[in-house]
Structure 1
Amino acid sequence: MLISTTAILFAVIAIALGIGGAWLAALGGSWYYLIVAIGFLLTAIFLFKRHPAALGIYALVILGSLGWAIHEIGFDWWQLGTRGGVIVLLGLWLLTPWIWRKTGGVLPLAFAVLVALGVAGYSMFQDPHDIVGSLPTKQVAANADLGGNMPPGDWQQYGRTPYGQRYSPLAQITPENVASLKVAWTYQTGDIKQPEDVGETTYQVTPLKVRDTLYLCTPHNWAIALDAATGKEKWKFDPKVGFNTDRQHQTCRGVSYYADPAIPPGQPCAERVYLPTSDARLIALDAANGQICTFFADNGTLHLEQGMQYTPAGYYYSTSPPVVAAGKIIVGGAVNDNYSIHEQSGVIRAFDINTGALIWNWDSGNPDVTTPLPPDQKYTVNSPNSWSVSSVDENLGLIYVPLGNKVPDQYGAGRSPSVEKYSSSITALDLNTGQVRWVRQTVHHDLWDMDVPAQPVLLDITKEDGTAVPALVGPTKQGDIYVLDRRTGEAIIPVKEVPAPGGAVAGDFTAPTQPVSGLSFSPPPLSEKDMWGITMFDQLACRIQFHRLRYEGRYTPPSLQGSIIYPGNFGTFNWGSVAVDPVRQVMFAMPTYLAFTSKLVPREDVPPPGEVTKGSEQGLNRNEGAPYAVLLNPFLSPLGIPCQAPPWGYVAGVDLRTGKTAYKHKNGTIRDMSPIPLPFKVGVPGIGGPMITAGGVAFLGAAVDDYLRAYDLTTGKQLWEARLPAGGQATPMTYTTDDDRQFVIIVAGGHDSVGTKPGDYVIAYTLPNS
């Protein structure tokens, strides 16, 4: 009975592999699955007959599968294991006494299983994806420009200074002692996700630290001040943004701080915190007590919807902290991706930081006129926006703005010349007038939602002759990192134009070439052998899907049949940006790799609005008013895991003087991705950013397993990790207190887009007895 049941199992597997294998072969894919299906079928037939050939045939299945797998992907355990796991387990079952004693033929099968297990054991100690090396340790610029005049122990802007370096000159924590870090205090904000909230309700905030106080915001835009030494709450302000299901995001990445030189210290509103809200307000608060500074704008509140032709609630707001520079507060805004062509403008506006009066406005739809918009006029509808964080060089008088695309992101017919010029670019504006000084486009005619998502990082790079070049480092979703002269936008690391796939849908077009930076983490193009699955069955399904979708490499245009977009619009880099040490002139980064699919849906095939949501990061994005909606999803197997093989996430170190990548290591485990908490270091996706210190340590949460980790900046080796009570998709920061203790702090609250655990924790770590 048992052997007959086993034979039936093999026959069922043969049928499944045969049907799928024939389909794959018909699509032009590998014939392996069809051939191995024959092997399973023959094994089943001879098992029914209790014939010794059954085990001998299955030995050939194992050895043939092993040879095929090694030929395809070498000794990569995570690909070998999933290709051969089911096959070897079934081989072990056939080697049990109640099977082989009734059939015979055990020796060939035992040999095949031992060979497979030996190869598996060997491959477990190989890592074909790892790049081992070291960054230079020399202090190239001991007196490097950090971009801001503040005490070493403070962190007064989102990226610490207007340069956005995410670098602290503190050196108390080192590679030698970082493993001793312990929790110093934990604070819970009380702002947790509610049933009425939108799906993407996330904690992404990096706190600021000024003297003895931390300032932060929460997803529902509460502003909170904490004692930096103890975590005790000083004050809390709730702007009461309420709930609105039309918002695409419910988040706050940070607040902005300003000390007014015209008001004596200690007087009301001498120091202020500016809070952006998800209902399109900017509120000025007294940093001392959280009271509204009523002299700013309209009784303390600036209404950001002013000048917009369309103002439906929930469609426009600022998720990132505004820039404070030269007596101005400069604000961009996020619009709901792919909701409607009647979006708000992506205008960048500079207001007087004391009064809220409009000083200049730069609208990429009307880029030459930056004088304040008259009350009877409106900004350009649906012009490219800047939802991320800008950087500033006050000495050069420039603000560097990362720009996105316009709706619809995936269909580009009818875009104006200014949109074609400025979308998906880094644009430098005059800090005093808003006039364009230069623009560097990172994608031409963007059809992939490849917004420039990250704050550009500013530093001075020392050339071989000892001269320093004011530089900008701009990470992009597609994985290119642009290293530019920030005075002119000219490339320091060369950028070249390469041919790009054509074949957009009727009425649209594609750019014949696309720019590629000489410093890039863009992955190699996918092929069928890169398809993955927990078992050979879902891997087969991914292979079939790979051939059914359109894919011609990077910048394959969206299509009616569906296209693979890789890197996907999740981004190789996103709003977390990179961290740069301006003294050593090196960079620490977290490249992430997830393929997406993009399918255009003709308007006549789009269900009525009441049947589906208006738009989202995933699923059907309606693009109301456009000829096409778009169906966006991660490229996943039937089991809901990525179809592309891991690793999906790394940490990497780059020497910015040479543009060379020194190391690249897998980052993160599948502990929180699988039903069973397995600590396997596969290299997992993440969203968030790193922070580095003069002590030679880099800190990073971000990965979809719930940890804060410390790395040796020189080698990328992981030195320490702390388990977080929720997802750590926020960028950490560091500071010192009056007793000279160095703290590292992270906000752990989760991120719905990557499915991490929600929470409301602010956690500080420090060295014991220091």
Structure 2
Amino acid sequence: MSVTITAILFALIGIALAGGGAQLLMLGGSAYYLITGIAFLVTAILLFLRRSTALLLYSLIIIGSLIWAIWEVGFDWWQLGPRGGVVIVLGLWLLTPWIRRPLGFTSPNTGARYGAGAGPLAVAVVLAIAVAIFSMLTNSTDMEGRLPEDKIAAAPDLGGNVPPGEWHQYGRTPYGQRYSPLDQVNVQNVANLKEVWRYQTGDVKLPDDVGETTYQVTPLKVGNSLYLCTPHNWAIAIDATTGKQQWKYDPNVGLNPDRQHQTCRGVTYYADPAAQPGTACATRVYLPTSDARLIALDAANGQVCTGFADKGVLHLEQGMPYNPAGYYYSTSPPVIAAGKIIIGGAVNDNYSTQEQSGVIRAFDVKSGQLVWNWDSGNPTQTQPLPQGQTYTANSPNSWSVFSVDEKLGLVYIPLGNQVPDQLGMNRSDSVEKYSSSIVALDINTGQDRWVRQTVHHDLWDMDVPAQPVLVDITKPDGTPVPALVGPTKQGDIYVLDRRTGEPLQPIREIPAPGGAIPEDHSAPTQPVTALTFRPRALEGRDMWGVTMFDQMVCRIRLKQLKYEGQYTPPSLQGTLVYPGNFGTFNWGSVAVDPERMVMFGMPTYLAFTSQLVPRADVPPKGSDEKGSEQGLNRNDGAPYAVKMGPFLGPLQIPCQAPPWGYVAGANLRTGETAYKLKNGTVYDMTPLPLPFKLGVPGIGGPMITKGGVAFLGAAVDNYLRAYELTTGKQLWEARLPAGGQATPMTYSVEDGRQFVVMVAGGHGSVGTKAGDYVIAYALPR
């Protein structure tokens, strides 16, 4: 009976492989699945007939599968496993006595029953297992190396006048380096870090919240206070030493299902140099909210500073051509420079063609009066608009964090593109010039001084998501240059002279795929930088699954999509977008050591798909799908909606093979990548808490200390980790009670201890556990 059941199983497997394999072959894919499916069917027939040749044939299937798998992916265990797992398990089953005995023979002399000979099959199974063990011990995905340890700059410019033990802005200083000059915690002792306090804000994700309710804040540390905001825009001050709450302010933003995001990355601190210490609002915290307000609070007690704007509240919807509630808000902290508070805003992706402008505005930091406005749809008119005039609808916006060099008088803006993101028809010359670029604006006038575009005619939502990092780089010939380091979603790292925008490392144009829809066009070339973490184009051999079956389905799906490499235009049939919408780098940016002139970052690789949907085929507005990285984006008013999402297999795991996430170090002077190591486990990605280190996706940012340690949460397993900056080797980890999709920071307290603080609150889009935790770590006393 067991042989019959086994034969039926082999027949079913053969039918599935042969059917899918035939479809894949007709699409131009690998012939392996069809050939193997036929071999399974023949093996099934031989088993039904009780022929011992079934074992010999199956040994050939194993050897053939092994040769094919090694030819495709080498000795990468995580790619060999799905290809050979089912095949080897079935081989072991065929070696059992209850299968071999019915296939054997009865001795005419003794009448004894002997099982079929299994020598070739046993050799094949042992060889396959040996290859599997060897591949488990082989690291075929990591690039190991060392960053230079020489301190090139003895007294580097960290930007701004921030005491070593404090953290005054999102990236610590206006330069956004995410670098602390503290070194009490270092590579020798970081493994001894222990939790010293834990604070819970009380702001938790609610049942009616939008899907992308996320906790991405980096706290500020000034004096002995930490200042932070929560997803629902509460502003909170806590004691930096004890973690006890000092004050809390709730702006009552309410819930709005039309908001695409419900998050707050940080607040902005300001000390009025003209105010008497201790007077009301001598120090302030500026809070951006998800209902498009900017609120000034007294840093001492959280009371509203009524002298700012309209009784302490600046309404950011002023001057907008359209004002649908929930479509516009500032998710990132504004910057303050030269007495001005400069702010942008997030415009909902792909909701409508009638949305707010992406204008960048500077207001007087004390009064809230508008000083200048820079609208990428109307870039020359920077004087405050006259009464009755409005900004350009849907012009490219900046939802991320700005950087400032007050000595040069420049603020650096990472810009997105005009929505709808995937439709480039009817874009103005100004929009074409500024979309998906880094722009340097004059702090005093708002006039643009230079622009560096990172994607031409962006049809893929490849907005510049990361705060540009400012650092002085000594060139190999010894010349110091004020530089800007700009990470992008496509994986390029722009290293520019921040005075002019000219490249300090080469940028070249490469041919890009064509084939846009008839109403649109695509750029013939796209820029690529010398220092880049762009992945190679995906191929059939890169498809993945838990088994050979879902891997085959992913190979079929790849062939069904339009894909000619990076920058394949959106299409009606569906296009593969790789790197995907989350990008290789996102708002977490990179951290830079200004002494050693090296960077540490977290490149992530996760493919997405996008499919244009003609307006006539878009479901009525009763659908709750409006716009996000997943699902139907309605694009009301445009000829097409777009359906987007990650490229997943039948089991809802990525179709592309891991690793999906790395940590990487690069030399900014030479443009060379020193190491790239897979990062993170599937512990929180699977029903069982498996600690397999595949290298998982993440979103968040890193931080570096003078002690030679880099800290990073971000990965979709709930850990905060410390790494040796020189090699990328992991030195320490702490389990977090929720997703760590924020950027850690560090500071010192009055007794001299160095604290490392991480916010753990989860991220709606990547599905990590929600929470409301602020956790501090320090070395034992």
Query: What TM-score does the superposition give when structure 2 sets the normalisation length?
Result: 0.98
Which residue does 2:82 correspond to in 1? 82
**Contact kept in structure 2, 1:53 and 1:105, CA below 8 Å:** no
Counterparts of 2:127 and 2:474 in 1: how far apart (Å)?
54
Read off the aligned partner of 1:587 and give its amino acid letter.
Answer: M
In the alignment, which residue of structure 1 is the partner of 2:748?
736
Match of 1:679 in 2: 691
2:720 maps to what in 1?
708
Residue aligning to 2:100? 100
CA apart distance, 1:90 = 1.0
Tell me if the contact between 2:286 and 2:297 (Cα under 8 Å) persists in the aligned partners.
Answer: yes
Q: How many residues align?
A: 769
CA distance in 1 between counterparts of 2:627 and 2:576 reads 20
CA distance in 2, matches of 1:486, 1:170: 27
1:132-531 equivalences under 5 Å are: 132-531=144-543
CA distance in 1, matches of 2:368, 2:537: 49
Q: Deviations over 1:395-415 (max 9, x none)?
A: 000000000011111010110
Question: 1:19 is aligned with what amino acid?
Answer: G
Taking only the aligned residue pairs, the percentage that are identical comes to: 74
Given the alignment of the two structures, is residue 63 of structure 1 paired with residue 63 of structure 2, yes or no? yes
**Residue by residue, what CA displacement relative to the aligned partner does 1:512-562 show, whole Å, maximum 9, x if unpaired?**
110101110000011111111110000000000111111000100000111
Q: CA deviation at 1:56?
A: 1.1
Partner deviation per Cα, 1:322-375 (whole Å, 9 max, x = no partner): 011111100100011000011100000000000000000000011001001112
Counterparts of 1:205 and 1:291, CA distance in 2:
21
Matched AA of 1:371: Q
SS class of match (2:101): helix
Does residue 533 of the first structure (1) align with residue 562 of the second (2)? no
**TM-align CA RMSD:** 0.7
SS of residue matched to 2:102: helix
- 3-state SS of paired residue (1:102): coil
Deviation string, structure 1 residues 127-173 (Cα, Å, up to 9, x no partner): 22211110011110010000011210000000000000000000001
Q: Describe the superposition over 1:564-612 as per-residue Cα deviations: whole angstroms up to 9, x where unpaired.
A: 0111111100000000000100000100000111111111111111134
Which segment drifts farther, 100-109 or 591-600? Answer: 100-109
- d(CA) in 1 for partners of 2:627, 2:495: 34
Q: CA deviation at 1:480?
A: 0.4
In 2, the alpha carbon distance for the partners of 1:31 and 1:718 equals 41
Aligned to 1:47: 47
1:46 offset after TM fit, Å?
A: 1.4
Answer with 417-426 or 613-622: which moved more.
613-622
Aligned to 1:376, the other structure's residue is in SS state: coil
- Quote the residue 2:108 is aligned against: none
- 1:542 and 1:643 in contact (8 A); partners too: yes
User: For 2:691 and 2:391, how far apart are their aligned partners in 1?
Assistant: 51
Q: Is the 8 A contact 2:581 2:629 kept in 1?
A: no
1:701-720 Cα deviation digits (max 9, x unpaired): 00000000000000000000
Q: Does 1:621 align with 2:636?
A: no
Measured in 1, the distance between the counterparts of 2:753 and 2:399 equals 35
Distance across 2 between alignment mates of 1:733 and 1:644: 33
Is the Cα–Cα contact under 8 Å of residues 654 and 662 in structure 1 kept in the other structure? yes
Give a deviation string over 1:258-293, Cα, whole Å, max 9, x none. Answer: 000111111111100000000000000000000000
Amino acid across the alignment from 1:270: A
- Indicate the residue corresponding to 1:561 in structure 2: 573
Q: CA deviation at 1:465?
A: 3.2
CA distance in 2, matches of 1:466, 1:636: 49
Task: Find the aligned partners of 1:376 and 1:524 in 2 and give their Cα distance.
Answer: 50
Q: Say whether the 8 Å CA contact 2:590–2:599 is kept in structure 1.
A: yes
- Cα deviations across residues 418-454 of structure 1 (Å, max 9, x unaligned)? 0000000000000000001000000000000000000
Task: Give 1:577's aligned residue.
Answer: 589
**Counterpart residue number, 2:617:** 605
8 Å contact from structure 1 (residues 275, 285) kept in 2:
yes
Structure 2: tracts of 5 or more residues without a match: 104-115
Please report how far the alpha carbon of residue 105 of structure 1 lies from its aligned counterpart in structure 2 after TM superposition. Answer: 2.9
Q: Secondary structure at the match of 1:72?
A: helix
Q: Give distance in 2, aligned partners of 1:458 and 1:75.
A: 41
Structure-1-length-normalised TM-score: 0.99
2:588 corresponds to which letter in structure 1? G
Amino acid at match of 1:188: Q
Q: 2:671 aligns with which of 656, 659, 677?
A: 659
Question: Can you list the C-alpha shifts for 1:437-478, whole angstroms capped at 9, x where unaligned?
Answer: 000000000000000000000000012332210000000000
Q: Deviations over 1:450-509 (max 9, x none)?
A: 000000000000123322100000000000010000000000010001111111101100
Query: Which of 601, 604, 618 is the matching residue for 1:592?
Result: 604
Matched residues in 1 for 2:515 and 2:50: separation? 57
Query: What is the match of residue 30 of structure 1?
Result: 30
Q: Distance in 1 between matches of 2:194 and 2:210?
A: 35
Counterpart code for 1:753? S
Whether 1:751 and 2:773 are equivalent positions in the alignment is no
Question: C-alpha separation between the residues in 1 aligned to 2:399 and 2:200?
Answer: 27
Counterpart of 2:259 in structure 1: which amino acid? R
Name the structure 2 match of 1:8. 8
Paired residues of 1:43 and 1:57 also in contact (CA < 8 A)? yes
Q: Specify the SS of the correspondent of 1:538.
A: helix
Q: Residue type of the partner of 2:162?
A: M
Conservation of the 8 A alpha-carbon contact between 2:476 and 2:670: no
What letter is aligned with 2:171? G
- Report deviation, 1:315: 0.4
Q: Displacement, 1:97?
A: 1.9
The ranges of structure 1 where at least 4 consecutive aligned residues each deviate by more than 6 angstroms after the TM superposition are: none
Q: Which amino acid aligns with 2:78?
A: W
Output the CA distance in 2 between the equivalents of 1:274 and 1:19: 61
